[in-house]
Chain A
Amino acid sequence: MTSSPAATASGSPLPEPDASSFAHARPIAGQAEWYKRAVFYEVLVRAFADSNGDGTGDLRGLIDKLDYLQWLGVDCLWLPPFYDSPLRDGGYDIADFRKVLPEFGTVEDFVALLDAAHARGIRVITDLVMNHTSDAHQWFQESRRDPQGPYGDYYVWRDDDTGYPDARVIFVDTEPSNWTFDPVRKQYYWHRFFSHQPDLNFENPAVGEAMIDTLRFWLDLGIDGFRLDAVPYLFEEEGTNGENLPKTHEFLKRCRKVIDDEYPHAVLLAEANQWPADVVEYYGDPAVGGDECHMCFHFPLMPRIFMAARRESRFPISEILAQTPAIPESAQWGIFLRNHDELTLEMVSDEDRDYMWAEYAKDPRMKANIGIRRRLAPLLEGDRNQIELFTAMLLSLPGSPVLYYGDEIGMGDNIWLGDRDGVRTPMQWTPDRNAGFSRCDPARLYLPAIMDPQYGFQTINVEAQMNSTASLLHWTRRMLEIRSRYAAFAIGEFTDLGGSNPTVLSYVRHFDGVGGLDGEGPHTVLCVNNLSRFPQPVELDLREHEGAIPVELTGGVQFPRIGELPYLLTLPGHGFYWFDISGEPEQQ
C-alpha cells in the first residue's frame, strides 16, 4: 500500500497534475479516420528496449527504436498500460492515472515519445482502465479513510455483501465474491475483477468527470487515442448481470462527444470480449455513423483462423464473418492473431448459437494451442508458409490488423516462464548479449531472453533478418507496404466468394472510391488462401469481374484474363494470392 503524502483534510480534493505543466507533442498531419487504414503494433514498453541498462525496457528505449518501426511500416503503436502501478495485474491496476511507472520513465519521456513518433508519421495509443483502480490509488485510500470526504463515494461501498447477486465472478479461481470487506472503512467494496482492483462508482457524477479529465490530460499531451479496458462493466444495477448496461453506453457516448468536439483526431478502441453481434453495441448508434467507440476488437475471428487451418476448411472463418453484422460508418474492427494475453476458447459462448464452439473445444490439440498464451511462430511449429498465410489473412480480412511485437521476426516464447510472461520476453534485436535489448548484466533482465536453438536470439533477431531480403521481417514489411497501397484491404467491402473447394478461403475486397486518400480511385482485390497443407485447385465464380486481368500484388505478374467460365487457380500447400482485379491494364 502506498503512503498518502497528499492526503488532505476532509473536504478538499487531491491535487493532480495538469496537462499545462508539461510540454505537448507536435501533432501528426491530419488524416480523418486514420484508424481505418492503420496497421497497429502492440509493443510492451518493458520488453522492447532498455535505454538505461537497468534490465527493463523504457520509453527512451522505445524512442530509440522508432526508426525501425517506421521502416517496418506500422502506423500506430498500442502500448499496454505504462501508468504508475503496484503491478499486481500487469499494470492494469493503475495507482495514478497521471504518472508514468518510474522504471519506464516520466510523463516528459512519454511526451518525447509522442513527439518523435509523430515526426515519423506513427501514432500512439494506450490502454486506459476506466472500470477500476488499484487499491493503492489515492482515490481509494481517501475513500476508505474518509467516507464523508470528496472521494467517499468514488467506489461502490455497501454494509453487506449481498448486492448484485446476478453479476458473475469473473476470476473464479482467486475471488470468492465480487464483494470484499475493508477493515478500515468497515464496509464491503465492489470489484468485478481482483479484490485489489476496486470498481469505481460511475453512479457518482464526479467519477465520470474525473475519468473524462484523465482522457483530456493525455489527449492534451498529444496521445492519439485509448484502448478502453473492460468497458462492459462500468455500471452495475440490481437484477442485471452488470454487463453492457444502458448507462454504460451513455457514458461512452459522453466520452465520444468529448473526443469529437475537442480531439477529433483521436480514437477509442473498446475491449469487449463478446460476440460480434453484441460488440457492435459499443460502436453506438449507426444512424449517426457511430457515437461510442471507433473501434472494437473482433475476438472470435482469431481462434477461427487457427481452427480453419487445423480443419483445413474455410467454414470456421466464413461462418464467423457471415455472423458479423455491419458496423456504423465511422467504425472499424480491430483484428489480431496474437496479443499479450487473450482468453480465447474460454471466451463467451453461453448459448448453442455457435455449435462449432463445442466441437473445437473438445479437440485437445486446439485447446493446447489456443487456450494458452503462445506466440504465433511456435503455435505454427515454426512453419514459414503458415506464418505467411496467417499474416496474409490478418492483413486482408476486414478490420485494422494488430501485430504483436516480435512476431514480425517469428520470435518464440518461453513456456517455462508461465503463460503470462512466456510471450513477454525481451525483443530480439541482435545476436549479442541480452539480444541487444539491454546492456545490463543478464541476471538483471526483467525476464530472460529466449535462448533455445530454434527461436533463441542467436538465430532469430532483427539484425540478421534486416540483412537478408528473404527473411520473414522483409516479407512482412513488403506485405505492409502492399497493403498500404490498396484502400480496399482496409475499408473495402468484403465478399466471401465460396468456391468449389472447401479448403480454400477466397474473398474479394472492393473499394468504391469513397473515403480514400487523394487520387485513390475505386479498385478491387481478390484474396485466395489455401488452408490445407497440400496443393489445391479452386474454381472461382468471377463473372462480375469478367474481362479483368488479375495482377498478382507481390510480383506484378499478370494472370490469365477472367472469362465467363469459372476461374481456375492452383495453390501450393498453405499458399495464398493477392490480386488486383480492378480492370484491364492499358494495352501496349
Chain B
Amino acid sequence: MTSANAGSDPGAAAQAAPVSDTDLVTLLAGWLPQQRWYAAKQDPDAVVGITDRNLVAVAGEHDLHVTVEQVLIEVSGSHGRSQYQLWLAWQPEGTGAEEHAGAIGTAGGLSATDALLLPAVSRLLITTVADAAALGPVHAVREPDADIDITAHGMVIGAEQSNTSIVYGHSAILKMFRRLEPGPNPDAEVHRALAAAGCRHIAEPLGELIGPVGDEEAGRETTLGLLTRFYPNSAEGWAMALSSVRDLMAEGDLRADEVGGDFAAEAHRLGEAVAAVHADLAGAFGGRSADTDELRRILDDMAIEARSAAEQAPSLTQYLPGILAVFEQAAAHAASLQLQRVHGDLHLGQTLRTLTGWLVIDFEGEPAKPLAFRRSMQSPLKDIAGMLRSFDYAAHQPLVGGRPDAQHVFRAAEWAARNSTAFCDGYAAAAGTDPRQAGGLLRAFELDKAVYEVVYEHGHRPSWESIPLQAVSRLINAGGSL
C-alpha cells in the first residue's frame, strides 16, 4: 500500500519500506490505546487498518539518523470510523531508541519511535514549512510575511485531545492534527481568514503542512499541521480565572469586587476580544439571518437533545419540564437569529492572555462533531454561552470534592455572576449589541450547553455533575440568567 516516497531516488526509498503492514498493525496495537488523542482507547474490538504509508525521509538525508514515515490509519469500532495521522521514526534495533520517550516497539530488526518527539524530525518539519518545500506527498505552505526561526529547538508539549503540538523555542508552535477528516481544516481556514482581516485576537498563522487524505483516488488535500506564532509570556484564561477564584475563596469577608485577584476587568476585555473575533468571522465568511422556521428547528434540536440527556443522566429528569419550557419560551419570543461562522467550542481554556491582550485559540470547533457541522453557520450566542458556562465552572471548580459551606457557594455564584456580567458588558461595548437582549436565546444556549455538560460529567466525572446541574436549576428559574 506504500504510495509515495521521498528523496531523489524514489526506488531506493520505496525499497526501504521498513516493515509490512501486518507487522505495523501488530506493533501499533499496544501503543495506540496509550495515546491521549486516540478515541478508541476503551474499545477492545476496534480494528486498525493502514490506509496510507509515505516514506518522507530516509536516514542520512536532512541530517537525520532515522527513517521517517508518515502513516495514515483508519480505526473502526463502536464509535464509528476515524482516521489518524502517525509519524514514525525507524532505526536499527539496539541503538537505544527503545529506551527513549515515544518508543513504540520493534519489528523486523527495526525500532519504531513517535517521530514528532525527535528534535531532528521537528526541525525537518519547520524547515519544510519555512522553505515551502515538500516531504513526499506532504507539502508546505508558508504565509507570505511569516517570520520563521528554523534554528529554534522543537519540543512536544502537553497532551491534547486531538493533536500533538511542537513548540519551537519562543517563536512558533506546530500543531500536528492526529484525528483527520478529509477536507479543509477549520482551524487553518479560520486562522488564515482572520489574519487576512487583520484580527489582533488570534495567534498569527505562519504556515501549514498539507497532504492527501481519504478514499478518493488522489485523496483530498487536508491540513496535517498548522504552524502559528507562539506567545511565550502568556497564560491560559482558565488558569488566570482559577487564581482569581482561589483568591476570593481565601477571604472570609470580602466580596468579589473587593479582593485583589478580581478578574472582572480581564473578563471585560475578553468580551471585547470575542466580539472582535466574531465581527471578523462575519466579515470573512459572511452571515445571514435564520428565519422563524430555522430558529424553531434549532430550539427543537435542543429539546430533543435534552430529552435524550434526561434518559442518560437521571438527575436531569426533574428539570426536564423546566428545560423544555425555556426552549419553548425562547422560540415564542425570539424574532430572528443571526448565523455566521463561530469558534464552536469556546471556553476559558481556549483563550490566552498575552502581554498585549487576549487571544482566542483553537478554531477546530466541537471535536466530536463532523467536519461539515464544524464549518457551518451557527449563532455567536453559542460561543458566548460557552464562555458563561466556563466562568461558572471556574467559580465552582474549587468546591468540587470538598464539603462546600454556604459562604463558599455564595462566593462562587457571586464570582461567576460578576465575571459573566463583565464579559457580556465588554462584548456589548465592542459589538454594539448586547447578547443579553436576544430575547431569552442566550439563556437557551447556556441551558443547552449545561444539559450537555451534565451528561458528560455523569459519564466521566460524577463528582463534577453538580456544577452543571445547579446551573440547569438556576437557568430554568425565571430571572436566574443574565
A: which residues have CB within 8 A of B? 309-313, 315, 318-319, 322, 355-356, 359, 363, 365, 496-498, 500-503, 532-534, 541, 543, 564, 566
Given A322-B233, A543-B153, does the pair A502, B250 have CB atoms closer than 8 Å? Answer: no
| Residue in contact with B250 in the complex, picked from A309, A310, A498, A534, CB distance below 8 Å | A534
Nearest CB on A from B174, distance (A): 16
Assess whether B235 is interfacial by the CB under 8 Å rule. Answer: yes
Q: Mark B227-270, 1 if CB is under 8 A from A, else 0.
A: 00000111100011001101100100000001011100100010
Assess whether B355 is interfacial by the CB under 8 Å rule. Answer: yes
Give the distance in Å from the alpha carbon of A533 to the alpha carbon of B299 in the complex.
46
| Residue in contact with B235 in the complex, picked from A355, A502, A532, CB distance below 8 Å | A502
Complex contacts, B265 vs chain A, CB 8 Å: 356, 359
Nearest CB on B from A478, distance (A): 29
Q: Is B240's CB under 8 angstroms from A534's CB?
A: no
Complex contacts, A315 vs chain B, CB 8 Å: 235, 353, 355
| Residue in contact with A498 in the complex, picked from B157, B232, B243, CB distance below 8 Å | B232
Count chain A CB atoms within 10 A of each CB in B155, B258, B265 and give the residue with the most. B265
Give the distance in Å from the alpha carbon of A355 to the alpha carbon of B232 in the complex.
21
Give the distance in Å from the alpha carbon of A522 to the alpha carbon of B132 in the complex.
39
Q: Is B243's CB under 8 angstroms from A503's CB?
A: yes
Q: Is B353's CB under 8 angstroms from A533's CB?
A: no
Q: Is B243's CB under 8 angstroms from A319's CB?
A: no
Complex contacts, A309 vs chain B, CB 8 Å: 260
Q: Is A543's CB under 8 angstroms from B247's CB?
A: no
Interface residues on chain B, size class: 20 to 34
| Residue in contact with B260 in the complex, picked from A365, A496, A534, CB distance below 8 Å | A365
Give the distance in Å from the alpha carbon of A312 to the alpha carbon of B232 in the complex.
19
Give the distance in Å from the alpha carbon of A502 to the alpha carbon of B353 in the complex.
9
Q: Is A502's CB under 8 angstroms from B269's CB?
A: no
Complex contacts, B169 vs chain A, CB 8 Å: 543
The 9 lowest CB-CB distance pairs between A and B, nearest first, are A498-B233, A502-B235, A310-B260, A359-B265, A498-B232, A322-B355, A502-B240, A312-B261, A319-B355
Q: Is B239's CB under 8 angstroms from A501's CB?
A: yes
Complex contacts, A541 vs chain B, CB 8 Å: 155, 167, 170, 232
Complex contacts, A564 vs chain B, CB 8 Å: 155
Given A496-B233, A501-B239, A533-B250, does the pair A312, B260 have CB atoms closer than 8 Å? Answer: yes
- Given A355-B269, A543-B153, 12 more A-B residue pairs with CB atoms under 8 Å apart are A309-B260, A311-B262, A312-B244, A313-B243, A313-B261, A315-B355, A322-B233, A322-B355, A363-B262, A498-B235, A502-B235, A503-B243
Complex contacts, A310 vs chain B, CB 8 Å: 260
Give the distance in Å from the alpha carbon of A8 to the alpha carbon of B353 in the complex.
68
Complex contacts, A356 vs chain B, CB 8 Å: 265
Give the distance in Å from the alpha carbon of A309 to the alpha carbon of B259 in the complex.
12
Nearest CB on B from A259, distance (A): 36
Give the distance in Å from the alpha carbon of A413 to the alpha carbon of B308 in the complex.
67
Complex contacts, A501 vs chain B, CB 8 Å: 235, 239
| Residue in contact with B233 in the complex, picked from A311, A318, A355, CB distance below 8 Å | A318
Give the distance in Å from the alpha carbon of A41 to the alpha carbon of B241 in the complex.
39
What are 7 A-B contacts with C-beta separation under 8 Å? A312-B260, A315-B235, A322-B233, A365-B258, A501-B235, A541-B155, A541-B170
Nearest CB on A from B228, distance (A): 16
Give the distance in Å from the alpha carbon of A534 to the alpha carbon of B244 in the complex.
12
Q: Is A311's CB under 8 angstroms from B353's CB?
A: no
Q: Is A502's CB under 8 angstroms from B246's CB?
A: no
Which residue of B has the minimal Cβ distance to A315?
Answer: B353
Count chain A CB atoms within 10 A of each CB in B153, B235, B250, B265 and give the residue with the most. B235
Q: Is B234's CB under 8 angstroms from A311's CB?
A: no
Q: Mark B153-174, 1 if CB is under 8 A from A, else 0.
A: 1010100000000010110000
| Residue in contact with A502 in the complex, picked from B157, B239, B258, CB distance below 8 Å | B239
Complex contacts, B250 vs chain A, CB 8 Å: 533-534
Given A318-B355, A502-B353, does the pair A312, B247 have CB atoms closer than 8 Å? Answer: yes
Complex contacts, A322 vs chain B, CB 8 Å: 233, 355-356
Give the distance in Å from the alpha carbon of A496 to the alpha carbon of B234 in the complex.
11
| Residue in contact with B234 in the complex, picked from A498, A543, A566, CB distance below 8 Å | A498
Count chain B CB atoms within 10 A of each CB in A498, A502, A503 and give the residue with the most. A502
Give the distance in Å from the alpha carbon of A318 to the alpha carbon of B232 in the complex.
12
Which residue of A has the minimal Cβ distance to B260?
Answer: A310
Which residue of B has the minimal Cβ distance to A321?
Answer: B355
Nearest CB on B from A358, distance (A): 8
Count chain A CB atoms within 10 A of each CB in B169, B233, B246, B250 and give the residue with the most. B233
Query: Which positions 159-193 of chain B face chain A at CB distance < 8 Å?
Result: 167, 169-170
Complex contacts, A355 vs chain B, CB 8 Å: 269
Complex contacts, A318 vs chain B, CB 8 Å: 233, 355
Complex contacts, A311 vs chain B, CB 8 Å: 260-262
Which residue of B has the minimal Cβ distance to A496?
Answer: B233
Q: Is A502's CB under 8 angstroms from B232's CB?
A: no
Nearest CB on A from B261, distance (A): 5
Count chain B CB atoms within 10 A of each CB in A313, A319, A500, A564 and give the residue with the most. A313
Give the distance in Å from the alpha carbon of A313 to the alpha carbon of B246 in the complex.
13
Q: Mark B403-420, 1 if CB is under 8 A from A, else 0.
A: 000000000000000000
Nearest CB on B from A359, distance (A): 4
Complex contacts, B247 vs chain A, CB 8 Å: 312, 532
Give the distance in Å from the alpha carbon of A310 to the alpha carbon of B262 in the complex.
9
Complex contacts, B353 vs chain A, CB 8 Å: 315, 502
Complex contacts, B233 vs chain A, CB 8 Å: 318, 322, 496-498
Nearest CB on A from B54, distance (A): 28
Query: Which positions 199-251 of chain B face chain A at CB distance < 8 Å?
Result: 232-235, 239-240, 243-244, 246-247, 250
Complex contacts, A533 vs chain B, CB 8 Å: 250
Given A318-B355, A498-B234, does the pair A313, B240 have CB atoms closer than 8 Å? Answer: yes
Give the distance in Å from the alpha carbon of A313 to the alpha carbon of B260 in the complex.
10
Nearest CB on B from A276, distance (A): 14
| Residue in contact with B243 in the complex, picked from A312, A363, A496, A497, CB distance below 8 Å | A312
Q: Is B155's CB under 8 angstroms from A543's CB?
A: yes
Give the distance in Å from the alpha carbon of A312 to the alpha carbon of B243 in the complex.
8
Which residue of A has the minimal Cβ distance to B357?
Answer: A355
Give the distance in Å from the alpha carbon of A497 to the alpha carbon of B233 in the complex.
6
Give the distance in Å from the alpha carbon of A302 to the alpha carbon of B355 in the complex.
18
Complex contacts, A534 vs chain B, CB 8 Å: 246, 250
Nearest CB on A from B353, distance (A): 7
Nearest CB on A from B63, distance (A): 18
Complex contacts, B153 vs chain A, CB 8 Å: 543
Give the distance in Å from the alpha carbon of A189 to the alpha carbon of B299 in the complex.
75
Complex contacts, B232 vs chain A, CB 8 Å: 497-498, 541
Give the distance in Å from the alpha carbon of A318 to the alpha carbon of B157 in the complex.
23
Complex contacts, A497 vs chain B, CB 8 Å: 232-233
Which residue of A has the minimal Cβ distance to B264?
Answer: A359
Nearest CB on A from B338, distance (A): 28
Give the distance in Å from the alpha carbon of A500 to the alpha carbon of B157 in the complex.
11
Give the distance in Å from the alpha carbon of A363 to the alpha carbon of B265 in the complex.
11
Count chain B CB atoms within 10 A of each CB in A311, A355, A566 and give the residue with the most. A311
Which residue of B has the minimal Cβ distance to A323?
Answer: B355
Give the distance in Å from the alpha carbon of A318 to the alpha carbon of B240 in the complex.
15
Which residue of A has the minimal Cβ distance to B258?
Answer: A365
Give the distance in Å from the alpha carbon of A310 to the alpha carbon of B243 in the complex.
12
Complex contacts, B262 vs chain A, CB 8 Å: 311, 363
Q: Is B355's CB under 8 angstroms from A502's CB?
A: no
Which residue of B has the minimal Cβ distance to A360?
Answer: B265
Nearest CB on A from B40, distance (A): 28
Give the distance in Å from the alpha carbon of A363 to the alpha carbon of B255 in the complex.
13
